[in-house]
């Protein structure tokens, strides 16, 4: 088979889908990763997994229909030229415009994965409600031609059904997020934690997220500010790339929160592992997720987690077992949960170990990839048949 894996960034495809790409290639198939240009390093990583790279234009955040029409036209040309047997699309615009273009081009097998609902489904203002209605219409059109749709949590399935996006006969598939490479994200010792369960250095909390309001960054900043007054040595780190457009948080706002005392912004990185290794607890007060990769990565490295009791987040944290669930948009509750680890550092060890075991049992990327391929009915091609090696 010739398979096109379609995404909105080469970096996110490399970070999240490289194991799936490798499984496809090792199963004897030709794999093409299709993403906007601009990240040679991520593309090189995907190439090492056996993929060929193609580019297409995409305005990830914009609402200009002319830009989206250009995207759809470019994808249609690619599909007609490459004649893939199967499309695997992820993230919002690639799913919508990729599935529409694939249907027009006559791609035999079309699969989409819903990795999160994004800005359009927050619907807490008139403008967002308008965007929501348009998005629902586009999703309905796109997914009507899909052979299967992967969801990462049951809440998103219910939202799509309620919005009339999924028909009664739609083939709903489940995936444990994108999974986590448990070998690459191996456990590391908790910094400064002694055998008697005390810390010999300040506790470090880490939020890894794009600079979006829906990631709960403002709540994190408020909780950090409150805790700094009681525990001045504690550190509250924020790591992640800038974003543009709707729902983004400006660097100016981040700097204001830093000046008020609390969070420390570290910028962005290609490798989060050193930062997770230097932290004690992972944090994600997100309003909604598909399945949060940063938390799975932290769990795999033996870190406890504090997340919101929100769709997607509750999929990866069991209350009191590998971390804590806090109410949505509640900085005081978030601060109380974070303080639990300051007052009882031994929880970092027990909950971190539980998180590692959950990562191995439930979220290992090798298992997730194998499950996705099985659900898409992608065959293993015998090497003797001249399959790609």
pLDDT in tens, 128-149: 666 778 888 899 999 998 999 9
Q: Is residue 190 part of a domain?
A: no
> Is residue 264 one of the residues assigned to a domain?
yes
CA distance 142 to 102: 9
CA-based R_g, the chain, Å: 21
- Same domain, residue pair 208 and 334: yes
Over pLDDT 90: what percentage of the chain? 77
How many structural domains compose the chain? 2
Tokens at 239, concatenated: 């790591």
Q: What is the pTM assigned to this prediction?
A: 0.85
In a domain, 198, yes or no: no
The pLDDT value given to residue 136: 85
pLDDT for 387: 42
Same domain, 156 and 213: no
Task: Return the higher-pLDDT residue of 136 and 327.
Answer: 327
Identify the residue with better confidence: 255 or 193: 255
Q: Do 78 and 225 fall into the same domain?
A: no
Q: pLDDT for 31-53, tens place per residue?
A: 999 999 989 999 999 999 999 99
Q: In this structure, is residue 68 part of a structural domain?
A: yes
| CATH number of residue 250's parent domain | 3.40.50.2000
- Listed residue (182, 184, 142) closest to 165, CA to CA: 142
Q: Are residues 164 and 300 in the same domain?
A: no
| 333 and 380 both lie in a single domain | no
Chain segment 226-263, per-residue pLDDT in tens: 999 999 999 999 999 998 877 899 999 999 999 998 99
Mean pLDDT of the chain: 92
292 and 351 together in one domain:
yes
Q: Are residues 42 and 147 in the same domain?
A: yes
Q: What is the DSSP string of 217-276?
A: HHHHHHHHHHHHHH-TT-EEEEE-----STTB--HHHHHHHHHHSSEEE----S--HHHH
What does the pLDDT average to over 177-190? 94
- Say if residue 20 is in the same domain as residue 95: yes
Task: Report yes or no on 80 lying in a domain.
Answer: yes
Both 13 and 32 in one domain: the answer is yes
3: its two tokens? 């398979």
Q: Clarify whether residues 94 and 217 are in a common domain.
A: no
| 77 shares a domain with 29 | yes
Burial of 156 (0-12, 13-18, 19+ CB in 10 A): buried
* Statement to judge: residues 170 and 258 lie in one domain: no
Of 320, 281, 305, which is closest to residue 199 (Cα–Cα)? 281
- How buried is 54 (Cβ within 10 angstroms: 0-12 exposed, 13-18 middle, 19+ buried)? middle
Which residues lie below 8 Å from residue 121, measured CB to CB, with a gap of 6+?
A: 132, 135, 159, 288
- 196 assigned to some structural domain: no
Residue 40 lies in a domain: yes
Task: Give the range of the structural domain holding residue 348, as residue numbers without chain letter.
Answer: 204-362
């Amino acid at each position: 088979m010739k398979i096109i894996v379609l995404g909105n960034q080469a970096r996110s495809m490399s970070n999240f889908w490289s194991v799936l790409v490798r499984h496809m290639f090792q199963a004897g198939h030709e794999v093409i990763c299709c993403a906007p240009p601009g990240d040679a390093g991520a593309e090189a990583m995907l190439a090492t997994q056996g993929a060929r790279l193609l580019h297409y234009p995409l305005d990830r955040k914009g609402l200009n229909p002319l830009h989206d029409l250009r995207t759809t036209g470019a994808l249609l040309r690619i599909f007609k030229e490459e004649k893939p047997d199967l499309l695997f699309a992820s993230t919002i615009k690639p799913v919508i415009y990729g599935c529409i273009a694939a249907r027009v081009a006559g791609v035999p097998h079309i699969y989409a994965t819903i990795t999160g609902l994004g800005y359009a489904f927050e619907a807490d203002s008139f403008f967002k409600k308008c965007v929501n209605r348009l998005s629902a219409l586009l999703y309905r059109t796109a997914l009507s031609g899909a052979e299967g749709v992967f969801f990462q949590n049951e809440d998103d399935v219910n939202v799509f059904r309620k919005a009339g996006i999924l028909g009664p006969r739609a083939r709903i598939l489940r995936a444990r997020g994108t999974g986590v490479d448990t070998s690459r994200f191996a456990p590391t010792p908790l910094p400064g934690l002694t055998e008697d369960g005390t810390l010999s250095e300040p506790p470090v909390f880490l939020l890894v997220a794009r600079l979006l309001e829906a990631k709960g960054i403002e709540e994190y900043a408020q909780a950090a500010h409150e805790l700094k007054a009681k525990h001045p040595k504690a550190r509250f780190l924020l790591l992640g790339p800038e974003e543009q457009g709707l729902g983004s948080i400006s660097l100016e706002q981040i700097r204001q929160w830093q000046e008020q005392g609390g969070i420390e912004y570290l910028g962005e990185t290609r490798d989060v592992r050193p930062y997770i290794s230097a932290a004690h607890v992972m944090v994600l007060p997100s309003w909604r997720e598909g399945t949060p990769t940063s938390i799975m990565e932290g769990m795999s490295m033996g870190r406890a987690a504090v997340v919101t009791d929100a769709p997607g987040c509750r999929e990866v944290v069991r209350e009191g077992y590998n971390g804590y669930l806090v109410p949505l948009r509640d900085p005081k509750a978030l601060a109380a949960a974070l303080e639990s680890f300051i007052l009882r550092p031994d929880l970092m060890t027990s909950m971190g170990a539980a998180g590692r075991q959950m990562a191995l049992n439930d979220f290992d990327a090798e298992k997730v990839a194998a499950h996705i391929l099985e659900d898409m009915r992608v065959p293993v091609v015998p090497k003797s048949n001249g399959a790609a090696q």
